[in-house]
């Protein structure tokens, strides 16, 4: 599943890059002229009293912010969202009705012993069933070994659930950093324009600062979007880990009762 979402992310990046390249090839107009054309379209909608379409407004801000840094920020959003959606789906499929699973395991132990309980765990998806199965594999070595196996394999399952979170955290950090870098470079370009003009023109200063700050806004928006998904994923992992610990304790109690029979 993770490879599938990464494939979609790469395909989206290739399409996005191709669109940028074709736009640059088709239009020989410089960036300043492209900004003016985009602003003319916005003014046309505003003059007619119609509401400016969202895609047109975003396109205008994207051109104003500069294709270079804005493209990098959008790449962070695309890859980060692909990883976040993959984690959300993985955690959704990892959710198990542990109470029902324990009841089925107890019934299987009473009916057919360890092998029947293994069959129940194999037919149930989720990390809890996998932990139970690993414990049942070592049931003949004693309850202490079963308990140690459950603890060890529980750590493995936690690592699997947290897989990919470090990359999402990286994009949360790097998106605003790219925005700030674009802002600094834009400010430098604005001061270069002032120096070339030999005069501090309000239009030059305001225009340069506006273009520079758009990259910061874009980076912060991307970071906030990814942060929401990141916190949601962390909350899901915490809930699953609590469920895993509680069910593991009850499973050990079940194995103790079975071993005394």
Q: Which residues of the chain have pLDDT under 70?
A: 1-67, 198-208, 211, 261
The pLDDT score that the predictor gives to residue 170 is: 94
pLDDT of res. 55 = 58
The per-residue pLDDT for 3 is 57
Do 101 and 247 meet the contact criterion of CB atoms below 8 Å apart?
Answer: yes
Exposure b/e, 199-224, CB count within 10 A at least 16 = b: eeeeebeebbeebbbbbbebbeebbe
What are the distances in angstroms from CA 106 to CA 97, 113, 120, 129? 14, 9, 10, 13
Of 111, 10, 57, 83, the C-alpha closest to 232 is 83
Helix 202-259 vs helix 143-161: angle between axes, to the nearest 10 degrees? 160
Q: Is 65 exposed, middle or buried (0-12, 13-18, 19+ CB in 10 A)?
A: buried
Helix (H, G, I), strand (E, B) or coil at 245: helix
Q: Which domain holds residue 76?
A: 1-261
Residue 142 three-state SS: coil
Angle CA 221–225–228, to nearest 5: 140
CA angle, 31 then 36 then 42, to 5° = 130
Question: What is the reported pLDDT for 79?
Answer: 94
pLDDT score for 84: 95
Full 3-state SS string of 31-91: HHHHHHHHHHHHHHHHHHCCCCCHHHHHHHHHHHHCHHHHHHHHHHHHHHHHHHHHHHHHH
The pLDDT value recorded for residue 86 is 94
pLDDT of residue 53: 64
| Number of separate domains in the chain | 1
This prediction's pTM: 0.75
Question: According to the model, what pLDDT value does residue 15 have?
Answer: 54
- Judge whether 126 and 247 are in contact, CB under 8 Å: no
């Amino acid at each position: 599943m993770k490879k599938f979402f990464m494939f979609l992310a790469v395909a989206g990046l290739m399409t996005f890059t191709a669109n940028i390249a074709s736009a640059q090839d088709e239009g020989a107009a410089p960036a300043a002229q492209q900004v003016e054309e985009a602003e003319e379209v916005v003014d046309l909608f505003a003059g007619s009293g119609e509401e400016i379409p969202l895609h047109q407004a975003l396109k205008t801000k994207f051109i104003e912010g500069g294709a270079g840094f804005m493209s990098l920020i959008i790449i962070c959003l695309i890859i980060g969202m692909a990883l976040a959606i993959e984690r959300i789906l993985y955690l959704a499929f990892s959710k198990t009705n542990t109470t029902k699973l324990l009841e089925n395991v107890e019934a299987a132990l009473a009916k057919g012993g360890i092998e029947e309980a293994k069959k129940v765990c194999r037919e149930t998806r989720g990390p809890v069933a996998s932990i139970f199965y690993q414990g049942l594999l070592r049931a003949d070595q004693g309850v202490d070994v079963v308990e140690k196996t459950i603890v060890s394999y529980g750590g493995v399952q936690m690592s699997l659930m947290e897989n990919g979170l470090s990359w999402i955290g990286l994009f949360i950090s790097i998106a605003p950093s790219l925005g700030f870098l674009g802002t600094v470079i834009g400010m430098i370009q604005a001061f270069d324009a002032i120096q070339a003009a030999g005069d501090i023109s309000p239009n030059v200063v305001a225009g340069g600062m506006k273009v520079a700050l758009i990259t910061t806004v874009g980076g912060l928006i991307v970071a906030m979007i990814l942060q929401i998904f990141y916190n949601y994923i962390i909350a899901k992992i915490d809930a699953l880990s609590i469920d895993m610990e509680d069910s593991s304790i009850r499973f050990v109690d079940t194995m103790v009762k079975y071993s005394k029979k």
